[in-house]
Structure 1
Amino acid sequence: MPILRLTTVAALCLLAALAGCERTAAPAPAPPRPVAPPGPVAAVEQRLRELRRNDLDVYARHAVPPTLYAQLERAWREDRTRWPLTELPLDDRLPGALAALAEPGAERRLRAAYRREFAGARTELRSAVDTLGVLGERHLMSEPGYGETERAHYLQLAGALQSWGRSAALADARRANPAIERLVSAARRTRLAGPHAMRDAGLDASLRRLGPFFGAVKDVFADYGFDLDAALADARVEPVEQRGDRARVRLRYTLAGRAIDTPLDLQRIDGRWYLTDTLAHARLEADRPAP
């Protein structure tokens, strides 16, 4: 039968091939083709994806060249910096906030404080948001550490935050209680509430533990209509110009109903693109003297 004959021939060929394996080595597989580092647009898009996934440790490693990252790791261990947390507003208050959220009885204490000061106080909260917005803009305008494009971007963010705060249901206790529970639980899981916990954990491990807390904060804001993940998902990065190892792209996204449009400058080092402002801040933090 043709099928039987075909099967027999195939079996003999297989046996011959197996026997030949003992005498002749199979040709070595071709080495993988090198993957070119991402260009300036792709580099920014990658940073956005890392933030959306709460991969703070990955973000930090990709945000600066390896040699600078090693310097920042050493500075972190020596308590000279908490970069990249220093990129956040009020970064010096983060350890205290984590400690307050993680301490025993925090849920009960924070719920009581909320009921006493904020529950139902819509007018007072709206006024407080306006005051904080004005103070924030003054700080951004006077802070010497910001670059021109960075300052313009932060001013847009401050405007979006202020606009959102005027209409957000911040006085609604039904939302506040689960938000408190979520933040307290996430803070405790970081295991970074102790006075030397971040130093002892080191840069990489601290950021890895903070990732889920960062995600919980974003989720709480999203419940109130300030959806950072949606903004990151819908962000668009477009090339503007490139001259040698310098490039500029444009980042556009919508945050809390407000369109944000900002240029970003990048620099290429050893074939990879990095945000210029991030590099400048990281270098300052790496060289920061001991307290």
Structure 2
Amino acid sequence: MSLPTVRTGRFQSAAWLLLAALCVSGCQRNETAPALPGAKAEPAAAMQSMTLPLRRNDLVAYARIRVTPAQYTQLEAAWRSGASRWPLTELPLPNEVGALLGSLSAPDAERRMQQAFDAELAGQAQGIAQAAQSLGQFGVHYLRSRNDYPPEQRAHYVQLVDALSAWAATAPLADRPRAKASIADLVAAARATGITSDADLQRLGMEESLRRLGPFWEICKKVLERYDLSIDNSLDALRTGLIKQDGDTAQVRLRYPLAAHDIDLTVALIKRDGHWYQLQTQNQVQALLNGSQAAPLPNATVASETAAAAPAKPSNTGQRPAGR
């Protein structure tokens, strides 16, 4: 099996794409590590608390703790207009979550995905291992050549690629019984959301969509555990410590185990309205909100005219987000 066979093929449309995306957060932990210096400091404790909703599969709480109340309200409006799908863009999920759920919810989803797995991956452990190693080397080289990432972010991504390529080279991704059980779980969980398209996400709104996606997130974690990756163990193992604080800004060290690697990064925080938030998230969210207010979506005019002409419910415009 060649590298292009693994990278293209029908595997791209199967539920296994979700596994690849989720692996960014999949980690393992074998023993308790000591607390980092400054773990009890307010900024470090705040960073730690931001991970708790993911452990509880509460995506609504996760969204609320990541942004200010005013931003949350604005993000709900941006979601309704089709300008945003935050916080899905912060989670290790594919960008087109609505389309993925639609594919998983299709009447013949299990049969089609099992056929795709059998054709592309079943029994191909050696080919997958070779592809993982090659893609890992390419990914590290690519990241190191990029100048548009801040040095700390680039260093973090390099660590992730190294760890995940090593994991994928030995993970039982070609095991058919695991595939069959995982596909069945993902299909059932996707159907339970009642979401089959991005238009459904827009119609439901941000909070209701996140509420429905919580159980789906839980099943995704269960699926990963079949492949020796436990997101819950990783979240339990995550440690934070204060590097320095200067008034309403701080730098926090964050460490967590990923497969056989220990990921180590620095996160900048900012205090607003008495609460600490991740600076990168704040900057990205504010840029998203500024952009959604400054310019309409490319299809917004057409969608609005269509909605006005058709006897459809105002909340279901069927718009797709032009960007995240």
TM-score by length of 1: 0.81
Which one-letter code corresponds to 1:97 in the other structure?
L
1:86 maps to what in 2? 89
Larger of the two Rg values belongs to structure: 1
Which one-letter code corresponds to 1:254 in the other structure?
P
Whether the 8 Å contact between 1:39 and 1:272 is mirrored in structure 2 is no
Which one-letter code corresponds to 1:199 in the other structure?
Q
Q: How does 1:26-45 map to 2 (within 5 A)?
A: 39-45=42-48
Q: Secondary structure at the match of 1:196?
A: helix
Q: Displacement, 1:56?
A: 1.2
2:55 maps to what in 1? 52
1:98-154: per-residue Cα shift (whole Å, max 9, x none)?
111111111111111111111001122123323433454456456777543333223
5+ long unaligned stretches in structure 2: 1-40, 299-324
Residue 106 (structure 1) aligned with residue 109 (structure 2): yes
Whether the 8 Å contact between 2:248 and 2:271 is mirrored in structure 1 is yes
Once residues 134 and 199 of structure 1 are traced to their aligned partners in structure 2, the CA distance between those partners, rounded to angstroms, is 38
Which one-letter code corresponds to 1:44 in the other structure?
M
Give the CA RMSD over aligned residues: 2.0
2:118 maps to what in 1? 115
Residue 240 (structure 1) aligned with residue 206 (structure 2): no
Which one-letter code corresponds to 2:252 in the other structure?
V
Residue 191 (structure 1) aligned with residue 210 (structure 2): no
1:233-280: per-residue Cα shift (whole Å, max 9, x none)?
011111111100001111111121211111111000011000011111
Distance 1:68-1:195 versus aligned 2 partners, 3 A rule: closer
2:253 maps to what in 1? 250
Distance 1:146-1:213 versus aligned 2 partners, 3 A rule: farther
Which one-letter code corresponds to 2:253 in the other structure?
R
Whether the 8 Å contact between 2:96 and 2:198 is mirrored in structure 1 is no
1:47-103: per-residue Cα shift (whole Å, max 9, x none)?
111111121111111101111111111111000111111224674332222111111
Residue 277 (structure 1) aligned with residue 280 (structure 2): yes
Q: Secondary structure at the match of 2:252?
A: strand
User: Which of 161, 164, 168 matches 2:164?
Assistant: 161
1:265 maps to what in 2? 268
Distance 1:171-1:213 versus aligned 2 partners, 3 A rule: same
Whether the 8 Å contact between 1:164 and 1:226 is mirrored in structure 2 is no
Which one-letter code corresponds to 2:44 in the other structure?
V
Percent identical across equivalent pairs?
Answer: 41
How many pairs align?
Answer: 254
Once residues 192 and 132 of structure 2 are traced to their aligned partners in structure 1, the CA distance between those partners, rounded to angstroms, is 30
Once residues 90 and 134 of structure 1 are traced to their aligned partners in structure 2, the CA distance between those partners, rounded to angstroms, is 23
1:16 maps to what in 2? none
Q: Secondary structure at the match of 1:287?
A: helix
Distance 1:139-1:275 versus aligned 2 partners, 3 A rule: farther
Once residues 282 and 188 of structure 1 are traced to their aligned partners in structure 2, the CA distance between those partners, rounded to angstroms, is 30
Residue 218 (structure 1) aligned with residue 224 (structure 2): no
Whether the 8 Å contact between 2:144 and 2:154 is mirrored in structure 1 is yes
Once residues 147 and 109 of structure 2 are traced to their aligned partners in structure 1, the CA distance between those partners, rounded to angstroms, is 37
Residue 229 (structure 1) aligned with residue 232 (structure 2): yes
Whether the 8 Å contact between 1:250 and 1:263 is mirrored in structure 2 is yes
Q: Secondary structure at the match of 1:62?
A: helix
User: Which of 56, 72, 76 matches 2:75?
Assistant: 72
Once residues 130 and 88 of structure 1 are traced to their aligned partners in structure 2, the CA distance between those partners, rounded to angstroms, is 25
Worse-superposed segment, 229-238 or 155-164: 155-164
Worse-superposed segment, 189-198 or 107-116: 189-198
User: Which of 147, 152, 174 matches 1:149?
Assistant: 152
Once residues 173 and 241 of structure 2 are traced to their aligned partners in structure 1, the CA distance between those partners, rounded to angstroms, is 35
Residue 125 (structure 1) aligned with residue 115 (structure 2): no
Distance 1:282-1:210 versus aligned 2 partners, 3 A rule: same
Whether the 8 Å contact between 1:47 and 1:59 is mirrored in structure 2 is yes
